[in-house]
A and B are shown apart, each in its own frame.
Chain A
Amino acid sequence: MKIHYLDNNATTRMDDEVLKAMMPYMTDNYANASGVYSFGQDARKAVEDARAVTAKFFNADDPREIIFTSGGTESDNIAIRGAALANAAKGKHIITSAIEHHAVLNVCKALEKEGYEVTYLPVDKYGVVNPDDVKKAIRPDTVLISIMAANNETGSIQPVAEIGAIAREQKIIFHTDAVQAAGKYPIDVKAMNADLVSISAHKFYGPKGVGALYIRKGVKVSAIMQGGHHENRKRPGTENVPGIVGLAKACSVAMDSFKNPKAHEKVKMLRDKLQAGIFEKIPEVILNGHPENRTENTLNVSVKFIEGEGMLIQMDFEGICASSGSACTSGSLDPSHVLLAMGLDHGTAHGSIRFSLSKYTTQEDIDAVLKALPPAVEKLRNMSPFWKNRVTA
Protein backbone atom coordinates (compact mmCIF):
# COMPACT_ATOMS: atom_id res chain seq x y z
CA MET A 1 0.00 0.00 0.00
CA LYS A 2 1.16 3.51 -0.75
CA ILE A 3 2.11 5.46 2.37
CA HIS A 4 0.70 8.95 2.75
CA TYR A 5 3.05 10.35 5.35
CA LEU A 6 1.51 13.33 7.11
CA ASP A 7 3.30 13.19 10.44
CA ASN A 8 6.26 15.39 9.67
CA ASN A 9 6.17 17.20 13.00
CA ALA A 10 7.05 13.82 14.48
CA THR A 11 9.89 13.28 12.03
CA THR A 12 10.76 13.82 8.40
CA ARG A 13 12.17 11.81 5.58
CA MET A 14 15.86 12.51 5.13
CA ASP A 15 16.84 14.62 2.15
CA ASP A 16 18.91 12.63 -0.36
CA GLU A 17 21.58 15.33 -0.23
CA VAL A 18 21.84 14.85 3.51
CA LEU A 19 22.37 11.13 3.23
CA LYS A 20 24.94 11.68 0.51
CA ALA A 21 26.89 14.08 2.71
CA MET A 22 26.81 11.65 5.64
CA MET A 23 27.81 8.49 3.82
CA PRO A 24 31.59 9.01 3.70
CA TYR A 25 31.63 9.41 7.50
CA MET A 26 29.77 6.16 8.00
CA THR A 27 32.04 4.24 5.66
CA ASP A 28 35.50 5.43 4.64
CA ASN A 29 36.18 8.01 7.29
CA TYR A 30 35.23 6.47 10.59
CA ALA A 31 37.94 8.21 12.61
CA ASN A 32 37.42 9.74 16.02
CA ALA A 33 37.48 13.50 15.54
CA SER A 34 39.82 13.76 18.54
CA GLY A 35 42.55 11.71 16.83
CA VAL A 36 45.77 13.65 16.25
CA TYR A 37 46.59 11.74 13.06
CA SER A 38 45.40 13.29 9.82
CA PHE A 39 42.69 10.64 9.43
CA GLY A 40 41.19 11.98 12.68
CA GLN A 41 41.85 15.56 11.65
CA ASP A 42 39.77 15.00 8.52
CA ALA A 43 36.86 14.05 10.76
CA ARG A 44 37.60 17.07 12.96
CA LYS A 45 37.48 19.32 9.92
CA ALA A 46 34.11 17.86 8.94
CA VAL A 47 32.75 18.61 12.42
CA GLU A 48 34.13 22.15 12.46
CA ASP A 49 32.88 22.89 8.95
CA ALA A 50 29.48 21.65 10.09
CA ARG A 51 29.67 23.94 13.09
CA ALA A 52 30.32 26.93 10.83
CA VAL A 53 27.33 26.08 8.64
CA THR A 54 25.10 25.55 11.67
CA ALA A 55 26.22 28.90 13.12
CA LYS A 56 25.15 30.53 9.88
CA PHE A 57 21.80 28.77 10.09
CA PHE A 58 21.26 30.43 13.49
CA ASN A 59 22.73 33.74 12.25
CA ALA A 60 25.25 33.38 15.08
CA ASP A 61 28.49 35.36 14.99
CA ASP A 62 30.84 32.64 16.09
CA PRO A 63 30.79 28.89 15.38
CA ARG A 64 32.02 28.39 18.95
CA GLU A 65 28.54 29.35 20.05
CA ILE A 66 27.22 26.05 18.65
CA ILE A 67 27.38 22.70 20.42
CA PHE A 68 26.17 19.45 18.92
CA THR A 69 23.90 17.18 20.91
CA SER A 70 21.89 14.00 20.48
CA GLY A 71 18.73 15.90 19.53
CA GLY A 72 16.08 18.34 20.63
CA THR A 73 15.55 16.68 23.97
CA GLU A 74 19.18 16.90 24.95
CA SER A 75 19.52 20.47 23.69
CA ASP A 76 16.54 21.46 25.84
CA ASN A 77 17.93 19.62 28.87
CA ILE A 78 21.37 21.23 28.59
CA ALA A 79 19.85 24.67 28.02
CA ILE A 80 17.44 24.59 30.93
CA ARG A 81 19.19 22.50 33.53
CA GLY A 82 22.60 23.76 32.48
CA ALA A 83 21.59 27.42 32.73
CA ALA A 84 19.63 26.85 35.94
CA LEU A 85 22.60 25.15 37.61
CA ALA A 86 25.19 27.65 36.39
CA ASN A 87 23.16 30.64 37.54
CA ALA A 88 21.64 29.30 40.75
CA ALA A 89 23.56 31.85 42.83
CA LYS A 90 21.54 34.60 41.13
CA GLY A 91 18.20 32.95 41.72
CA LYS A 92 16.15 29.85 41.26
CA HIS A 93 13.05 31.02 39.43
CA ILE A 94 12.25 29.91 35.87
CA ILE A 95 9.47 31.09 33.57
CA THR A 96 8.13 28.82 30.87
CA SER A 97 4.76 28.09 29.29
CA ALA A 98 2.07 25.44 29.62
CA ILE A 99 2.45 24.38 25.98
CA GLU A 100 6.12 23.47 25.90
CA HIS A 101 7.30 20.08 24.71
CA HIS A 102 7.89 17.54 27.47
CA ALA A 103 11.62 17.94 26.81
CA VAL A 104 11.21 21.36 28.44
CA LEU A 105 8.29 20.78 30.81
CA ASN A 106 9.68 17.69 32.45
CA VAL A 107 13.08 19.28 33.02
CA CYS A 108 11.28 22.14 34.76
CA LYS A 109 9.26 19.69 36.83
CA ALA A 110 12.41 17.87 37.86
CA LEU A 111 14.04 21.18 38.82
CA GLU A 112 11.03 22.04 40.97
CA LYS A 113 11.80 18.94 43.02
CA GLU A 114 15.35 20.21 43.39
CA GLY A 115 14.37 23.55 44.92
CA TYR A 116 13.70 25.67 41.85
CA GLU A 117 10.42 27.51 41.34
CA VAL A 118 8.76 27.49 37.93
CA THR A 119 5.98 29.68 36.54
CA TYR A 120 4.02 28.00 33.74
CA LEU A 121 2.41 30.76 31.68
CA PRO A 122 -1.04 30.23 30.18
CA VAL A 123 -1.83 30.69 26.49
CA ASP A 124 -4.76 32.20 24.63
CA LYS A 125 -7.31 30.20 22.65
CA TYR A 126 -4.91 30.01 19.71
CA GLY A 127 -2.19 28.56 21.88
CA VAL A 128 -0.07 31.71 21.97
CA VAL A 129 1.83 33.11 24.94
CA ASN A 130 1.27 36.78 25.78
CA PRO A 131 4.55 38.71 26.26
CA ASP A 132 2.84 40.84 28.91
CA ASP A 133 2.35 37.70 30.98
CA VAL A 134 6.08 37.06 30.72
CA LYS A 135 6.78 40.58 31.95
CA LYS A 136 4.42 40.18 34.88
CA ALA A 137 5.88 36.85 35.91
CA ILE A 138 9.44 38.19 36.22
CA ARG A 139 10.79 38.28 39.78
CA PRO A 140 14.12 39.43 41.17
CA ASP A 141 15.23 35.80 41.35
CA THR A 142 14.19 34.89 37.77
CA VAL A 143 17.22 33.48 35.97
CA LEU A 144 15.74 31.81 32.93
CA ILE A 145 12.83 32.22 30.53
CA SER A 146 12.10 29.34 28.15
CA ILE A 147 9.39 29.78 25.52
CA MET A 148 9.24 27.69 22.37
CA ALA A 149 9.42 29.32 18.92
CA ALA A 150 6.61 27.26 17.37
CA ASN A 151 4.42 24.62 18.90
CA ASN A 152 4.68 21.04 17.67
CA GLU A 153 0.98 20.19 18.02
CA THR A 154 -0.72 23.30 16.68
CA GLY A 155 2.09 25.02 14.79
CA SER A 156 1.23 28.28 16.55
CA ILE A 157 4.18 30.66 16.37
CA GLN A 158 5.13 32.39 19.60
CA PRO A 159 6.19 36.03 19.94
CA VAL A 160 9.74 35.04 20.86
CA ALA A 161 11.42 38.22 19.59
CA GLU A 162 9.30 40.30 21.96
CA ILE A 163 9.80 37.90 24.84
CA GLY A 164 13.52 37.82 24.13
CA ALA A 165 13.65 41.61 24.24
CA ILE A 166 11.96 41.61 27.63
CA ALA A 167 14.42 39.03 28.92
CA ARG A 168 17.42 40.90 27.51
CA GLU A 169 16.32 44.14 29.14
CA GLN A 170 16.03 42.40 32.50
CA LYS A 171 19.31 40.50 31.97
CA ILE A 172 17.51 37.19 32.21
CA ILE A 173 18.68 34.26 30.08
CA PHE A 174 16.26 33.47 27.27
CA HIS A 175 15.99 29.98 25.80
CA THR A 176 13.77 29.04 22.92
CA ASP A 177 13.00 25.54 21.72
CA ALA A 178 13.08 26.13 17.98
CA VAL A 179 12.82 22.44 17.08
CA GLN A 180 9.57 22.98 15.14
CA ALA A 181 10.63 26.29 13.63
CA ALA A 182 13.92 25.05 12.20
CA GLY A 183 13.71 24.48 8.47
CA LYS A 184 10.29 26.10 8.19
CA TYR A 185 11.46 29.69 8.44
CA PRO A 186 14.81 31.35 9.17
CA ILE A 187 16.02 31.24 12.75
CA ASP A 188 17.85 34.36 13.75
CA VAL A 189 19.24 34.37 17.27
CA LYS A 190 19.83 38.11 17.05
CA ALA A 191 16.31 39.00 15.93
CA MET A 192 14.93 36.68 18.63
CA ASN A 193 17.18 38.18 21.32
CA ALA A 194 17.87 34.59 22.29
CA ASP A 195 20.68 33.30 24.47
CA LEU A 196 20.00 29.61 24.01
CA VAL A 197 18.27 27.95 21.05
CA SER A 198 17.54 24.24 20.51
CA ILE A 199 17.14 22.49 17.18
CA SER A 200 16.88 18.85 16.09
CA ALA A 201 17.99 17.59 12.67
CA HIS A 202 15.32 14.96 12.08
CA LYS A 203 12.54 17.56 12.08
CA PHE A 204 13.90 19.19 8.93
CA TYR A 205 15.10 16.41 6.65
CA GLY A 206 18.18 15.54 8.66
CA PRO A 207 19.05 12.35 10.53
CA LYS A 208 17.56 11.27 13.86
CA GLY A 209 19.59 11.46 17.03
CA VAL A 210 21.48 14.68 16.38
CA GLY A 211 20.70 18.25 17.36
CA ALA A 212 22.37 21.50 18.19
CA LEU A 213 22.24 24.11 20.88
CA TYR A 214 23.18 27.72 20.32
CA ILE A 215 24.79 29.20 23.43
CA ARG A 216 25.42 32.91 23.13
CA LYS A 217 28.94 33.95 24.05
CA GLY A 218 29.15 34.85 27.73
CA VAL A 219 26.05 32.92 28.78
CA LYS A 220 26.86 30.50 31.57
CA VAL A 221 25.71 26.93 31.08
CA SER A 222 26.93 23.96 33.12
CA ALA A 223 27.47 20.55 31.61
CA ILE A 224 24.80 18.12 32.77
CA MET A 225 26.77 15.01 31.87
CA GLN A 226 30.31 14.42 33.00
CA GLY A 227 32.94 13.04 30.67
CA GLY A 228 35.56 14.23 28.24
CA HIS A 229 36.28 17.73 27.04
CA HIS A 230 34.20 17.61 23.88
CA GLU A 231 31.92 20.39 22.64
CA ASN A 232 33.48 23.17 24.67
CA ARG A 233 33.15 21.01 27.80
CA LYS A 234 29.39 21.40 27.58
CA ARG A 235 28.60 18.02 26.10
CA PRO A 236 31.03 15.17 26.57
CA GLY A 237 31.13 12.18 24.25
CA THR A 238 32.74 11.23 20.97
CA GLU A 239 31.24 13.39 18.24
CA ASN A 240 28.59 11.77 16.08
CA VAL A 241 30.47 12.80 12.95
CA PRO A 242 28.03 11.51 10.30
CA GLY A 243 25.08 12.89 12.28
CA ILE A 244 26.70 16.28 12.68
CA VAL A 245 27.58 16.42 8.98
CA GLY A 246 23.97 15.46 8.23
CA LEU A 247 22.59 18.17 10.49
CA ALA A 248 24.75 20.78 8.81
CA LYS A 249 23.66 19.59 5.38
CA ALA A 250 20.02 19.84 6.49
CA CYS A 251 20.80 23.40 7.62
CA SER A 252 22.30 24.35 4.28
CA VAL A 253 19.44 22.73 2.36
CA ALA A 254 17.05 24.78 4.54
CA MET A 255 18.99 28.02 3.98
CA ASP A 256 18.84 27.42 0.22
CA SER A 257 15.10 26.83 0.48
CA PHE A 258 14.59 30.19 2.18
CA LYS A 259 16.25 31.92 -0.76
CA ASN A 260 13.78 30.32 -3.14
CA PRO A 261 10.62 29.88 -1.11
CA LYS A 262 8.65 27.95 -3.75
CA ALA A 263 8.85 24.71 -1.79
CA HIS A 264 7.56 26.44 1.32
CA GLU A 265 4.71 28.04 -0.60
CA LYS A 266 3.75 24.65 -1.99
CA VAL A 267 3.62 23.11 1.50
CA LYS A 268 1.41 25.92 2.72
CA MET A 269 -0.81 25.70 -0.36
CA LEU A 270 -1.37 21.98 0.17
CA ARG A 271 -1.93 22.46 3.89
CA ASP A 272 -4.53 25.15 3.17
CA LYS A 273 -6.22 22.86 0.64
CA LEU A 274 -6.39 20.11 3.20
CA GLN A 275 -7.83 22.49 5.75
CA ALA A 276 -10.44 23.88 3.37
CA GLY A 277 -11.40 20.37 2.25
CA ILE A 278 -11.86 19.10 5.77
CA PHE A 279 -14.00 22.06 6.78
CA GLU A 280 -16.05 21.71 3.62
CA LYS A 281 -16.67 17.99 3.94
CA ILE A 282 -17.04 17.52 7.69
CA PRO A 283 -19.41 19.49 9.91
CA GLU A 284 -18.56 20.54 13.45
CA VAL A 285 -14.81 20.68 13.14
CA ILE A 286 -12.70 23.24 14.92
CA LEU A 287 -9.23 24.48 14.07
CA ASN A 288 -6.67 24.12 16.84
CA GLY A 289 -3.99 26.75 16.57
CA HIS A 290 -3.61 30.21 15.16
CA PRO A 291 -5.51 30.67 11.89
CA GLU A 292 -2.60 32.50 10.20
CA ASN A 293 0.41 32.78 12.41
CA ARG A 294 1.33 29.14 12.39
CA THR A 295 3.96 26.91 10.80
CA GLU A 296 3.28 26.39 7.11
CA ASN A 297 2.95 22.62 7.34
CA THR A 298 0.72 22.06 10.36
CA LEU A 299 -3.01 21.44 10.53
CA ASN A 300 -4.58 20.40 13.82
CA VAL A 301 -8.34 20.06 14.03
CA SER A 302 -10.77 18.64 16.52
CA VAL A 303 -13.56 16.58 15.08
CA LYS A 304 -16.24 16.96 17.69
CA PHE A 305 -18.04 14.04 19.33
CA ILE A 306 -15.46 11.38 18.45
CA GLU A 307 -12.13 10.25 19.76
CA GLY A 308 -8.87 10.60 17.85
CA GLU A 309 -7.47 7.10 17.94
CA GLY A 310 -10.31 5.60 15.94
CA MET A 311 -9.67 8.20 13.24
CA LEU A 312 -5.96 7.43 13.20
CA ILE A 313 -6.50 3.68 12.87
CA GLN A 314 -9.12 4.20 10.19
CA MET A 315 -6.65 6.46 8.35
CA ASP A 316 -3.95 3.83 8.78
CA PHE A 317 -6.13 1.33 6.88
CA GLU A 318 -5.62 3.68 3.91
CA GLY A 319 -1.89 4.13 4.47
CA ILE A 320 -2.28 7.59 5.97
CA CYS A 321 0.04 8.52 8.84
CA ALA A 322 -1.22 11.24 11.15
CA SER A 323 -1.28 11.85 14.90
CA SER A 324 -3.69 12.86 17.62
CA GLY A 325 -3.68 14.61 20.96
CA SER A 326 -6.07 12.07 22.43
CA ALA A 327 -5.16 10.32 25.65
CA CYS A 328 -4.96 7.02 23.85
CA THR A 329 -2.01 8.17 21.84
CA SER A 330 -0.31 10.07 24.65
CA GLY A 331 -0.15 7.00 26.86
CA SER A 332 -1.95 8.70 29.73
CA LEU A 333 -5.54 9.29 30.69
CA ASP A 334 -5.37 12.97 29.84
CA PRO A 335 -5.43 14.35 26.34
CA SER A 336 -2.81 16.78 25.03
CA HIS A 337 -1.66 19.34 27.61
CA VAL A 338 -1.33 21.84 24.78
CA LEU A 339 -4.98 21.61 23.74
CA LEU A 340 -6.16 21.68 27.36
CA ALA A 341 -4.06 24.81 27.97
CA MET A 342 -5.87 26.42 25.02
CA GLY A 343 -9.13 25.89 26.87
CA LEU A 344 -10.48 22.90 24.95
CA ASP A 345 -12.68 20.61 26.99
CA HIS A 346 -11.45 17.05 27.37
CA GLY A 347 -13.88 15.59 24.85
CA THR A 348 -12.84 18.01 22.11
CA ALA A 349 -9.16 17.53 22.90
CA HIS A 350 -9.58 13.75 22.64
CA GLY A 351 -11.02 14.30 19.17
CA SER A 352 -8.01 16.12 17.76
CA ILE A 353 -6.10 15.00 14.72
CA ARG A 354 -2.90 16.53 13.41
CA PHE A 355 -1.66 16.45 9.85
CA SER A 356 1.84 17.80 9.33
CA LEU A 357 3.15 18.10 5.79
CA SER A 358 6.62 18.25 4.29
CA LYS A 359 8.22 19.25 1.03
CA TYR A 360 7.62 15.68 -0.09
CA THR A 361 3.85 15.91 0.42
CA THR A 362 1.85 15.71 -2.80
CA GLN A 363 -1.64 16.61 -3.93
CA GLU A 364 -2.28 12.86 -3.99
CA ASP A 365 -1.59 12.66 -0.24
CA ILE A 366 -4.08 15.44 0.42
CA ASP A 367 -6.67 13.79 -1.82
CA ALA A 368 -6.19 10.53 0.07
CA VAL A 369 -7.02 12.22 3.37
CA LEU A 370 -10.00 14.05 1.94
CA LYS A 371 -11.28 10.75 0.62
CA ALA A 372 -10.67 8.69 3.75
CA LEU A 373 -11.43 11.08 6.58
CA PRO A 374 -15.10 11.98 5.99
CA PRO A 375 -16.35 8.35 5.96
CA ALA A 376 -14.12 7.54 8.95
CA VAL A 377 -15.66 10.43 10.86
CA GLU A 378 -19.14 9.40 9.84
CA LYS A 379 -18.57 5.84 10.96
CA LEU A 380 -17.29 6.95 14.36
CA ARG A 381 -19.91 9.62 14.82
CA ASN A 382 -22.66 7.17 14.03
CA MET A 383 -21.67 5.16 17.05
CA SER A 384 -20.96 8.11 19.32
CA PRO A 385 -23.53 8.80 22.03
CA PHE A 386 -22.66 12.51 21.91
CA TRP A 387 -23.21 12.90 18.18
CA LYS A 388 -26.79 11.69 18.26
CA ASN A 389 -27.60 13.52 21.45
CA ARG A 390 -25.85 16.78 20.68
CA VAL A 391 -27.80 19.93 21.18
CA THR A 392 -28.13 21.43 17.75
CA ALA A 393 -28.47 25.14 17.75
Chain B
Amino acid sequence: MKYSEKVMERFKNLKNMGRIENADGIGKVGNAKCGDVMWIYIKVDNGIITDCKFETFGCVAAIATSSQATDLIKGMTVEKALEVTNKSIVEMLDGLPPEKLHCSVLAEDGIKRAIEDYNRKKQGLPPLPEKEDDGHDHGHEGEEE
Protein backbone atom coordinates (compact mmCIF):
# COMPACT_ATOMS: atom_id res chain seq x y z
CA MET B 1 0.00 0.00 0.00
CA LYS B 2 1.47 3.29 -1.02
CA TYR B 3 -0.20 6.69 -0.87
CA SER B 4 0.32 9.38 -3.48
CA GLU B 5 2.34 12.45 -2.57
CA LYS B 6 -0.88 14.47 -2.73
CA VAL B 7 -2.46 12.27 -0.08
CA MET B 8 0.58 12.60 2.16
CA GLU B 9 0.71 16.32 1.57
CA ARG B 10 -2.97 16.58 2.50
CA PHE B 11 -2.48 14.50 5.59
CA LYS B 12 0.43 16.69 6.68
CA ASN B 13 -1.46 19.91 6.08
CA LEU B 14 -5.02 19.11 6.92
CA LYS B 15 -7.75 21.67 6.56
CA ASN B 16 -11.31 21.87 7.89
CA MET B 17 -10.90 19.57 10.86
CA GLY B 18 -13.32 19.91 13.68
CA ARG B 19 -16.98 20.55 14.10
CA ILE B 20 -19.31 23.41 13.30
CA GLU B 21 -21.49 24.36 16.22
CA ASN B 22 -25.05 24.90 15.10
CA ALA B 23 -24.36 23.33 11.72
CA ASP B 24 -27.17 23.48 9.19
CA GLY B 25 -26.56 19.89 8.20
CA ILE B 26 -24.54 16.96 9.57
CA GLY B 27 -23.80 13.81 7.59
CA LYS B 28 -22.69 10.90 9.74
CA VAL B 29 -21.48 7.89 7.77
CA GLY B 30 -19.36 4.76 8.18
CA ASN B 31 -18.89 2.59 11.21
CA ALA B 32 -16.16 1.92 13.70
CA LYS B 33 -16.27 -1.77 12.93
CA CYS B 34 -14.74 -1.22 9.53
CA GLY B 35 -12.44 1.40 10.95
CA ASP B 36 -13.85 4.49 9.25
CA VAL B 37 -16.38 6.96 10.58
CA MET B 38 -16.87 10.34 8.97
CA TRP B 39 -19.00 13.24 10.15
CA ILE B 40 -19.41 16.10 7.70
CA TYR B 41 -20.75 19.43 8.97
CA ILE B 42 -22.11 22.11 6.64
CA LYS B 43 -23.20 25.68 7.10
CA VAL B 44 -25.54 26.92 4.37
CA ASP B 45 -26.43 30.47 3.50
CA ASN B 46 -28.78 31.29 0.64
CA GLY B 47 -28.29 27.86 -0.90
CA ILE B 48 -24.52 28.17 -0.78
CA ILE B 49 -22.26 26.07 1.43
CA THR B 50 -20.37 28.77 3.30
CA ASP B 51 -18.48 26.50 5.64
CA CYS B 52 -17.75 22.80 5.83
CA LYS B 53 -15.81 20.78 8.38
CA PHE B 54 -15.20 17.17 9.22
CA GLU B 55 -14.56 14.85 12.11
CA THR B 56 -13.13 11.53 11.02
CA PHE B 57 -12.07 8.39 12.80
CA GLY B 58 -10.18 6.39 10.26
CA CYS B 59 -7.09 5.70 8.25
CA VAL B 60 -4.99 8.23 6.40
CA ALA B 61 -7.08 7.79 3.24
CA ALA B 62 -10.31 8.52 5.10
CA ILE B 63 -8.83 11.58 6.75
CA ALA B 64 -7.30 12.93 3.54
CA THR B 65 -10.51 12.44 1.54
CA SER B 66 -12.52 14.13 4.29
CA SER B 67 -10.27 17.14 4.11
CA GLN B 68 -10.26 17.20 0.30
CA ALA B 69 -14.03 16.80 0.04
CA THR B 70 -14.81 19.51 2.57
CA ASP B 71 -12.46 21.87 0.76
CA LEU B 72 -14.09 21.07 -2.54
CA ILE B 73 -17.67 21.83 -1.61
CA LYS B 74 -16.96 25.02 0.29
CA GLY B 75 -18.47 27.84 -1.76
CA MET B 76 -20.58 25.49 -3.89
CA THR B 77 -24.32 25.63 -4.15
CA VAL B 78 -26.08 22.76 -2.44
CA GLU B 79 -27.18 21.42 -5.84
CA LYS B 80 -23.65 21.45 -7.19
CA ALA B 81 -22.28 19.75 -4.08
CA LEU B 82 -24.76 16.93 -4.58
CA GLU B 83 -23.07 16.21 -7.90
CA VAL B 84 -19.63 15.67 -6.34
CA THR B 85 -18.54 12.09 -6.86
CA ASN B 86 -16.00 10.02 -5.01
CA LYS B 87 -14.16 9.69 -8.31
CA SER B 88 -13.53 13.41 -8.52
CA ILE B 89 -12.27 13.47 -4.92
CA VAL B 90 -9.91 10.58 -5.63
CA GLU B 91 -8.62 12.28 -8.77
CA MET B 92 -7.82 15.43 -6.82
CA LEU B 93 -5.66 13.29 -4.55
CA ASP B 94 -3.88 11.61 -7.49
CA GLY B 95 -5.61 8.34 -6.72
CA LEU B 96 -5.87 6.00 -3.76
CA PRO B 97 -4.67 2.42 -3.30
CA PRO B 98 -7.49 0.12 -4.50
CA GLU B 99 -8.25 -1.21 -1.01
CA LYS B 100 -8.76 2.39 0.15
CA LEU B 101 -11.30 3.44 -2.45
CA HIS B 102 -14.16 2.77 -0.05
CA CYS B 103 -12.91 5.72 2.02
CA SER B 104 -13.68 8.09 -0.85
CA VAL B 105 -17.15 6.61 -1.19
CA LEU B 106 -17.61 7.54 2.44
CA ALA B 107 -16.74 11.18 1.69
CA GLU B 108 -19.30 11.35 -1.13
CA ASP B 109 -21.91 9.72 1.11
CA GLY B 110 -21.06 12.11 3.94
CA ILE B 111 -21.63 15.16 1.77
CA LYS B 112 -24.91 13.80 0.40
CA ARG B 113 -26.11 12.94 3.84
CA ALA B 114 -25.19 16.31 5.31
CA ILE B 115 -27.20 17.98 2.55
CA GLU B 116 -30.11 15.61 3.11
CA ASP B 117 -29.98 16.49 6.78
CA TYR B 118 -29.97 20.17 5.87
CA ASN B 119 -32.99 19.73 3.59
CA ARG B 120 -34.88 17.88 6.30
CA LYS B 121 -34.15 20.56 8.85
CA LYS B 122 -35.44 23.18 6.42
CA GLN B 123 -38.68 21.24 6.22
CA GLY B 124 -38.89 20.93 9.99
CA LEU B 125 -38.21 17.17 10.00
CA PRO B 126 -36.12 15.51 12.74
CA PRO B 127 -32.39 15.16 12.01
CA LEU B 128 -31.12 12.13 10.17
CA PRO B 129 -29.98 9.24 12.28
CA GLU B 130 -26.46 7.92 11.82
CA LYS B 131 -26.03 5.68 8.84
CA GLU B 132 -25.06 2.02 9.26
CA ASP B 133 -25.14 2.09 13.00
CA ASP B 134 -23.52 -1.12 14.09
CA GLY B 135 -24.34 -0.82 17.76
CA HIS B 136 -20.89 0.30 18.82
CA ASP B 137 -20.63 2.80 21.57
CA HIS B 138 -20.21 5.89 19.50
CA GLY B 139 -22.43 8.62 18.23
CA HIS B 140 -23.82 9.98 21.44
CA GLU B 141 -25.48 12.76 19.61
CA GLY B 142 -24.60 16.22 20.81
CA GLU B 143 -24.60 15.43 24.51
CA GLU B 144 -21.92 18.04 25.13
CA GLU B 145 -23.91 20.95 23.86
Whether chain B is bound by chain A comes out as yes
Where the two chains meet, the residues of A that have a C-beta atom closer than 8 Å to any C-beta of B are: 305-307, 309-310, 313, 317, 326-328, 331, 333, 335, 345-347, 350, 380, 382-386, 388-391
Does B18 contact A307, Cβ atoms closer than 8 Å?
Answer: no
Q: Which residues of A contact B59 (CB under 8 A)?
A: 307, 309-310, 326-328
Q: How far is the CB of A352 from chain B (nearest CB, A)?
A: 11
A305 and B55 contact, Cβ closer than 8 Å, known pairs A346-B33, A383-B63, A389-B140: no
Q: How far is the CB of A359 from chain B (nearest CB, A)?
A: 30
Q: Which residues of B contact A347 (CB under 8 A)?
A: 32-33, 57, 136, 138
Does A385 contact B35, Cβ atoms closer than 8 Å?
Answer: no
- Closest partner residue, chain A, to B141 (CB atom): A389
19 further contact pairs, Cβ within 8 A, besides A309-B60, A383-B18: A305-B57, A307-B57, A307-B62, A310-B59, A327-B35, A327-B59, A328-B59, A328-B61, A346-B35, A347-B136, A350-B35, A383-B17, A383-B54, A383-B56, A385-B28, A385-B39, A388-B19, A388-B144, A391-B137
A346 and B136 contact, Cβ closer than 8 Å, known pairs A333-B34, A388-B19: yes
Q: Which residues of B contact A390 (CB under 8 A)?
A: 140
Does A313 contact B60, Cβ atoms closer than 8 Å?
Answer: yes
Q: B114-145, CB under 8 A of A: which get 1 and which 0? A: 00000000000000000000001111111110
Q: Which residues of B contact A317 (CB under 8 A)?
A: 12
A307 and B35 contact, Cβ closer than 8 Å, known pairs A346-B136, A347-B57, A385-B138: yes
Instruction: Kindly state the separation between the CA atoms of A335 and B17 in the bound complex, as whole angstroms.
Output: 25
Q: How far is the CB of B16 from chain A (nearest CB, A)?
A: 9
- Closest partner residue, chain B, to A345 (CB atom): B136
Where the two chains meet, the residues of B that have a C-beta atom closer than 8 Å to any C-beta of A are: 1, 3, 8, 11-12, 14, 17-19, 28, 32-37, 39, 54-63, 99-100, 136-144
Does B143 contact A389, Cβ atoms closer than 8 Å?
Answer: yes
Quick one: which of B8, B58, B63 has the most chain A CB within 10 A?
A: B58
- Closest partner residue, chain A, to B33 (CB atom): A346
Q: How far is the CB of B144 from chain A (nearest CB, A)?
A: 7
24 contacts between A and B (CB under 8 A): A307-B36, A310-B11, A313-B8, A313-B11, A327-B34, A327-B35, A328-B35, A328-B60, A333-B35, A345-B137, A346-B32, A346-B34, A350-B35, A383-B56, A384-B55, A385-B28, A385-B37, A385-B55, A385-B57, A385-B138, A385-B139, A386-B57, A390-B140, A391-B137
Q: Which residues of B contact A335 (CB under 8 A)?
A: 35
Q: How far is the CB of B130 from chain A (nearest CB, A)?
A: 10
Instruction: Kindly state the separation between the CA atoms of A328 and B2 in the bound complex, as whole angstroms.
Output: 12
Instruction: Kindly state the separation between the CA atoms of A390 and B32 in the bound complex, as whole angstroms.
Output: 14
Q: Which residues of B contact A305 (CB under 8 A)?
A: 57
Instruction: Kindly state the separation between the CA atoms of A380 and B32 in the bound complex, as whole angstroms.
Output: 15
Does A310 contact B63, Cβ atoms closer than 8 Å?
Answer: yes
Instruction: Kindly state the separation between the CA atoms of A8 and B28 in the bound complex, as whole angstroms.
Output: 39
Instruction: Kindly state the separation between the CA atoms of A346 and B30 in the bound complex, as whole angstroms.
Output: 13
Q: Which residues of A contact B143 (CB under 8 A)?
A: 389, 391
Does A382 contact B17, Cβ atoms closer than 8 Å?
Answer: yes
